[in-house]
A and B are shown apart, each in its own frame.
Chain A
């Protein structure tokens, strides 16, 4: 199984400041035949179901604000919130879909400082 490890477990960022979440996979999730990274990011706000933010490691879902961006390749990935807003308080998860069992990171809680 591919193990996904996020860091940090939680972070507190001031409004308008940058938040950076890291995600590392235990093996590469880059599929060489199409040069795509099989990695997604989700946001789960308190009391809500998760929401897909980014797929293929860096492609934003329709309607997701452009302050959210994804980067990385192979085994190391980053989700960046360029200017934190109050509505971004949530737990963020990375997920690999390179192979089953599809696995998630443990989550990173983002709060306002």
Chain B
């Protein structure tokens, strides 16, 4: 059974940092592109970042470039998102998802990040 389990969300003040983790199982993590997608409360979906199999290539939506860093540890079947300089508008549920080209075929249940003073 495929599982993606996110953790690390919570309440953080503006300007603060948070590190999200995603534990993967049930599929070949090391050969998969992985991604983070977020959803602000009551809003639509927004792709945040992707990382290729070895971590050699990454890309981000402009609004998080320079603040967020996506990484992975294939030995631990884990995906990460380091979020710095957090803003109110980063408040969202963050989903870990596998990019299967041509679509996000596996999704986690999401972890809520709330940026508020």
Contacts and interface: CB of A to CB of B under 8 A. Distances in A.
Contacts of B109: 49
Contacts of A44: 45
Interface residues on A, range: 20 to 34
Contacts of B44: 93, 104-107
Contacts of A38: 102
Interface stretch (A16-24, A50-58, A82-90): A50-58
B88 interface: no
B104 A52 contact: yes
A101 B61 contact: yes
Interface residues of B, number: 21
B103 interface: yes
Question: Could you tell me the dominant secondary structure of chain A's interface residues?
Answer: loop
Interface string A32-57: 00000010101010000111100110
Interface string B103-117: 111011110000000
B75 interface: no
B47 interface: yes
Contacts of B103: 40, 42, 52, 55, 61, 95, 97
Contact of A103 (B47, B105, B108): B47
A104 B104 contact: no
B57 to A, nearest CB: 11
Contact of A49 (B47, B62, B101, B108): B108
Interface of B: 37, 44-47, 50, 59-62, 95, 100-105, 107-110
11 contacts: A49-B109, A50-B37, A50-B95, A50-B104, A50-B107, A51-B107, A52-B100, A95-B47, A100-B50, A102-B47, A104-B45
